[in-house]
Amino acid sequence: MRYGRQTPVKSVVLPYERSYGTEAVQIYNRSGRTSMPWQELLAEDILAVNSENLYVHMKYGWAVPRRNGKSELLIMRSVYGITHGERVLYTAHRTTTSHNAWEKCIDRLTKAGFTEGKDFKTTKQFGLEHIEMLDGSEAVINFRTRSSKGGLGEGYDLLIIDEAQEYTADQETALKYVVTDSKNPQTLMCGTPPTAVSSGTVFQKYRLKTLSGTNADSGWAEWSVPKLSDTSDVDLWYETNPSLGYILTERTIRSELGDDKVDDNIQRLGLWIEYSQKSAISRKEWEQLAEKPVISESSKLFFGVKYGKSGNVSLAVAVRTGKKIFVEAVDCRSVRDGNRWIIDYLRGKRAKSAVIDGAGNQDILVSDMDDSGVKCRAVLPTAKQVVEANALFEKCLFDGKICHCNQPSLTQIISNCEHRPIGTGGGFGYTSILEGADVSLVEAVALAHWACAGAKEYKKQIVQY
C-alpha cells in the first residue's frame, strides 16, 4: 500500500526537547479515531514546550491541500486544551465550519471517556456554540464565526484560525489581542493556499515571514509544489497529499480534477501563487495619461459591466477621441440595488454596445435590457475574450493610446491592483492589493475599452466630381 509523504515539503520548526504532543494524540485516539503519522508529527511541534514549560511556538501555521484532514489537528489541539485547563477560541470563516468543529469536539470528548453533564456541559445554539468543563477550572471552548469585532473584550489561552486563507487584516486586528493576557498563549492558523477569490492576506504574509526567518517564536509546515505542475502526475499527488492512502484515494483525486489547471494546482497540489505586491499599473503610469479630451456629441459610447465576486457591480464607459480611447468609471454599486441605474445609461441614443461579464448576472441584465427596450447591443464575452480585453487594455495603456480624467476612485484601485491568472495560457485578470477594495471597476474599464477598440470606425463618405 502506498501512502502520501508524511513530512512537510517546507517547514520551520524551532528546536525543542519536550512536547505534550504524544499525550494529545493519545486522548484523540481514545475517541476511536486513529491519527496519521503526519498529524502526530505536527502535534509534537505544536505542543512543544521550553524549559519554563511555555509553548516554543507561540504561533504555528500549516497548509495542506483539501480533504487531507488538516482541521482534525485543530480538533485534537482543542480537546487537549480544554482537558488541560485552557480557554480556547475556535474561529472559522463560515458558521457551518465552526458548528462542525463543535460537533467534532463533542464527539471526540464523549468517545474519549468524558461525559456530558458530569465532566462538561455545552451550549448548542447555532453560531454561539460553547463547551465548558465542570472540573472547577475555567477551561472552555467558544466557537465563533470571524468578524472585525469578534472576540474583543474576551481573554483566551489558545486562538484557532480555521480556513485561514480567508483571515483578513481587520479580523486579525480584532482577534490577536484575545490571548495577550494569557501566561502561555498560542495562536494556530490552518488552511489551504489562497485562490484568486480568497479574501484574506494574513495567512500568506505569515507564511512568507516565517519561511524567511523573520517571525519570532513561530512555526510553519506545508505540503506543496514549487511551481505550476502537471496535475495528472500521480507521484505529485503522493508528494503533496499526506493522507493519500489513509483517508484519500487516487480515484477521488482523479475524479475531481477539472479544466482549470491553476485551481487544481492550488487545491490539490498546494501551490502558492506568488504575486508581486507591486501594482501591475503604477500611479505614475496611470496619472501621466490624464487629460481633458474634446469628445464629439455624436461619438458612440461603449460600456463595460462587471459583476464582481464581492457582491458589487461596476459600470464603465469608453469613447474614441482622435487617436486615443477615453475611459471613465461610471459607478460601482451593490447588486442589491438592481439593474435600473445601469439601464438608464444604456438606453441613451449614443450607447452602441455593452460588454457584460459576471456569471449568474449576465442573463438577468440582458433580460432587463430587452424588457426596457434598450437598443444598445449586449455582448457576453467568453473567458478567452476577457483575457484578450485585459491584455489589450494594458498594451494600449503602456503605448499611450488611452486617456482619462484622473478620477480619484479609479486611480486608487487601478494603481493598487495586480495580476491573477486566468486559465492555463498565461492570461490574467486583476486582484486588489488593497484589502476590501473592489477591483471590478478596473475590469469594467478594460471591457469598455475592448468594445470601443474593436468597433469599426465609420467615416463620412465624400463624393468628388
- Please check whether the two domains, 10-269 and 283-453, share a CATH topology: no
Report the DSSP beta bridge partners of residue 379: 355
Confidence band (pLDDT; 50, 70, 90) for 200?
confident
Alpha carbons 231 and 262: distance in angstroms, whole number: 9
For the stretch 85-106, pLDDT in tens is 999 999 999 999 999 999 999 9
Confidence band (pLDDT; 50, 70, 90) for 461?
very low
DSSP E strands in 134-271: the ranges are 140-145, 158-161, 186-191, 218-222
Domain 10-269: CATH superfamily is P-loop containing nucleotide triphosphate hydrolases (3.40.50.300)
Domain extent listing, the chain: 10-269, 283-453
Asked if pLDDT for residue 460 goes beyond 60, the answer is no
Confidence band (pLDDT; 50, 70, 90) for 339?
very high
Alpha carbons 229 and 303: distance in angstroms, whole number: 38
Report the DSSP beta bridge partners of residue 90: 143, 160
What pLDDT score was predicted for residue 262?
81
Alpha carbons 69 and 4: distance in angstroms, whole number: 13
Phi-psi region of 151 (alpha: psi -120 to 50; beta: other; left: phi over 0): left
DSSP E strands in 231-270: the ranges are none
What pLDDT score was predicted for residue 35?
96
Distance separating the N- and C-terminal Cα atoms of the chain: 89
What pLDDT score was predicted for residue 458?
47
Asked if pLDDT for residue 232 goes beyond 90, the answer is yes
The residue among 130, 128, 140, 196 whose CA lies nearest residue 165 is: 196
Q: Of 463 and 14, which is predicted with more confidence? A: 14
Question: How much is the average pLDDT of 235-253?
Answer: 97
Alpha carbons 91 and 166: distance in angstroms, whole number: 11
What are the grid coordinates assigned to 257, written together?
480534477
pTM exceeds 0.75, yes or no: no
Q: Yes or no: say if 245 and 234 are a contact pair by the CB < 8 Å rule.
A: no
Alpha carbons 160 and 387: distance in angstroms, whole number: 39
Asked if pLDDT for residue 465 goes beyond 60, the answer is no
Question: How much is the average pLDDT of 194-206?
Answer: 82
Alpha carbons 277 and 174: distance in angstroms, whole number: 24
Asked if pLDDT for residue 137 goes beyond 50, the answer is yes
- % of the chain with per-residue pLDDT over 90: 74
Q: Please name the residue that has the C-alpha cell 523573520.
A: 214
CATH fold of the domain at 283-453: Nucleotidyltransferase; domain 5 (3.30.420)
Q: CA torsion sign, 372 to 373 to 374 to 377?
A: positive
